[in-house]
Amino acid sequence: MRLAYAPYNLKFKAPAGTSRGILNEKQTYLIKIWDESDPSRYGIGEASLFRGLSAEDNDRYEFKLVETLANVALGIPTDLSRHSSIQFGLEQAIFDFSNGCKGIYFPSDFTAARQSITINGLVWMGSFDEMIERIEQKISQGFKCVKLKIGAIDFIKELEMVKHIRRHFDADTLEIRVDANGGFSMDNAIARLARLAELDVHSIEQPIRQGHWDLMAFLCQVSPLDIALDEELIGITDLRSKIEMLDTIRPKYIILKPSLCGGFSGAMEWIKLADERNIGWWVTSSLESNIGLNALSQWVATLNTSMPQGLGTGGLFTNNFESPIYLDGEQLKFNAEQPFDYSQFDNLDWRE
């Protein structure tokens, strides 16, 4: 077997506000794997590095890709325990190759167009007026669950946004999730959680920064609002540490991002541990291109979960790849009649 990778910069249609600043582009890497006897047929995957968030974000990232490339040619394994996105991309490429190089990673009713995935509508950070407009757009598009990124403007104004929604839609009509990205402090967290709980918010992701297990455990005990862990999972790779973290904090939910928590295999380990402890979970994407999003959506469809998932729709970028996945209201669907076009990868800067 042989492996190659190609760097690719995704360009945002509009600047994307995050807790880590404004993003205009997103670096990613495509991976392909093939049998030397027939180089024209290959499996494709995406190693979606997230600068500023991934534990693997350092100047040796491409060296790890080169090491993986060489080891595949030699037929020996590579330790990717600290390189989640490469694990994620390699697993995709292998699944695609194993299933006939057709862009089918996990055959199911979803890929046969008999099943869809309910997703939440993500409202990006922005000014008060921008976020209100985005909220109203999501609701008009048919979303019954919206997720608000908070922390970019004054908390009182963010609270007013939630009140604005609740004046028109009660909790039975519309589920509201919020993501603080670690933006609260212990001085203000309890009061803010109480204010959000009064407005029937479903849950909050990562109210304080990761790594403070005892403080997060305390918040999970006293908070009137259910807490979901997100960044807390990043960089925890061994089973013992995963168990210790979950048993210490005891969150209501965990958020799974395979490109940040060990690929599909790492995410499945988290799911097993969560299920054993009656901890809920859902899956979110993390700015993958349509390649990673296609594989991620197919995997989610096999998990038999009814909760709205946090999957992207591929519409953020001007230079995204073509994919069979598409959005119909709040339902993510797969066009089984659209052949996966491998020719769109022909002119990339492949490095072997």
CB count in 10 Å sphere of residue 201? 22
pLDDT at position 273, please? 98
Query: What fold characterizes domain 2-102?
Result: Enolase-like; domain 1 (3.30.390)
In the set 26, 64, 138, 149, the catalytic residue is: 149
pLDDT by position in tens, the chain (length 352): 999 999 999 999 877 766 566 778 999 999 999 999 999 999 999 999 988 777 788 889 999 999 999 999 999 999 999 999 999 999 999 999 999 999 999 999 999 999 999 999 998 777 888 888 888 999 999 999 999 988 767 899 999 989 999 998 999 999 999 999 898 999 999 999 999 999 999 999 999 999 999 999 999 999 999 999 999 999 999 999 999 999 999 999 999 999 999 999 999 999 999 999 999 999 999 999 999 999 999 999 999 998 999 998 888 899 999 999 999 999 999 999 999 999 999 999 999 9
Q: What is the DSSP letter of 122?
A: E
pTM across the whole model: 0.94
Chain region(s) in the chain for CATH 3.30.390.10: 2-102
Buried b (16+ CB within 10 A) or exposed e, 134-164: bbeebbeeebbbbbbbbbbbebeebbebbee
Using only C-alpha atoms, the chain has a radius of gyration, in whole angstroms, of 20
Active site residue 64: no
- Answer whether 308's CB lies under 8 Å from 281's CB: no
CA distance readout (Å), 172 to 143, 153, 166, 168:
13, 27, 11, 12
Residue 165 neighbours by CB under 8 Å, 6+ apart: 135, 139, 146, 174, 176
Which CATH number is associated with domain 117-334? 3.20.20.120
Local structure of 176: helix, strand or coil: strand
**Residue located via tokens 């061994």:** 238
149 in active site = yes
Among residues 13, 257, 272, 333, the one annotated as catalytic is 257
CA distance 297 to 321: 15
Q: What residue spans in the chain does CATH classification 3.20.20.120 cover?
A: 117-334
Token output for 121 = 């509508």
Extract the tokens encoding 21.
Answer: 């600043």
Question: DSSP readout, 1-56?
Answer: -EEEEEEEEEEEEEEEEETTEEEEEEEEEEEEEE-TT-TTSEEEEEE---TTT-TT
What one-letter code names the amino acid at 341?
D
Angle between helices 290-301 and 84-98 (to 10 degrees): 70
